[in-house]
Amino acid sequence: MVYRVCKTFEIESGHMLSKHPDRCRFPHGHSRRVELVLAAEALDTNDMVCDFKALKLAVSQLLDDWDHAMAISSGDPMLETMRQASGDRLIVFENEDPTTEVLARRIYEHLEAQIRAGASFTDERGGVYTLPPGVRVERVRVGETSSSWAEYGQ
């Protein structure tokens, strides 16, 4: 048997899909729901799969960077125009469109790297939180609309 936990976040983000044949190639935004599912065969010393605070701290910078930002491919012909318009709120994806599938994969890879590194995080009160070594990222689901989502995982 396996234990699972899920932590959900919400961000507002825009993107442009240069390879799309229709309207999605133009700037547009989404209210995104990001679900992170972690699993473990056994509970840690605190009787948890992973402390939800550790999970939040592990992805907070990445999600904050993407919140209220515009994502674009490095190959998009509008890159320089968008760079001028968006300033530091532009996220450039190297040689791939920032589809919802790509966003899910990027979050998965980020979180998996944090776990592999044995990362620990300090919160605003000085509390230290770690991602236990026995935990694994099972899936990351990113919602694009109320009826559409993409998932990356095992």
The pTM assigned to this predicted structure is 0.95
- pLDDT of 7 > 90? The answer is yes
Beta bridge partners of 142: 34, 150
**Segments forming the whole domain that contains residue 63:** 3-153
Are 13 and 98 in contact by the 8 Å Cβ rule? The answer is: no
Would you tell me the crossing angle of helices 52-66 and 100-116 to the nearest 10 degrees?
140
Structure tokens at 19: 């390879």
Q: What is the domain-level CATH number for residue 57?
A: 3.30.479.10
Q: What is the pLDDT of residues 53-95, one digit of tens each?
A: 999 999 999 999 999 999 999 999 999 999 999 889 999 999 9
Beta pairing class for 28-40 and 90-93 = unpaired
Q: Looking at the 3D structure of the chain, how many domains does it have?
A: 1
Residues 48, 3: Cα–Cα separation, whole Å: 9
91: closest CA among 107, 65, 71, 74?
Answer: 71
Q: What is the pLDDT of residues 30-39, one digit of tens each?
A: 999 999 999 9
